[in-house]
A and B are shown apart, each in its own frame.
Chain A
């Protein structure tokens, strides 16, 4: 089974900060990875697909990079509406696996 190690588990940041979240896969998954944002009481929302492609309608301050085993989600300038929990998901093979999540809080 492929394990996804996501870090950090939480971070505090200010509006305007650059934020980086990392997911590491225990084996290569090509670019079969998505990044999701979840706010309390809501279903997840996809931000990035195929590791680096921006979902339609998602602000360009979100970007993804990586391939194989190392992946990064970057928010270039944190906005108030970005305070949420973020997850990566590998869909390369069953069982699919989410990262543990990163909670982005206001400093």
Chain B
């Protein structure tokens, strides 16, 4: 059974940093690209960032480019999202996912507020 378990969310002040983690199991993690998708309260889905299986190809949404960094550790079956210079508009539920394979975690909530 595929499992993606996010952690690292919480309440953080504007301008501060947070690092999200995602632990994967139940599939061959290093065969696949992985992504972060977020959903602000009451809003739609927003693709945030993606990374290829070998970290050779990485992409970001314009809204987070230059502030967020995606990475992965295939030896640990883990995906990460380093979020710097956080803003109120980054408040959302963050999903670790491979949408093309229909793999989704349950999400970790990030709240940016003073």
Contact = CB atoms under 8 A, between A and B. Distances in A.
Interface string B38-68: 0000001111001000000111111000000
A76 B104 CA distance: 27
B106 A96 contact: no
B59 A96 contact: yes
B35 interface: yes
B99 A36 contact: yes
A99 B43 CA distance: 12
Main secondary structure of the interface of B (DSSP, over half): strand
Report the interface size class on chain A: 20 to 34
A45 B99 CA distance: 9
A41 to B, nearest CB: 10
B31 interface: no
Contacts of A45: 102
Contacts of A38: 45
B44 A87 contact: yes
Interface of A: 1, 34, 36, 38, 43-46, 49, 55, 85, 87, 89, 91, 94-101
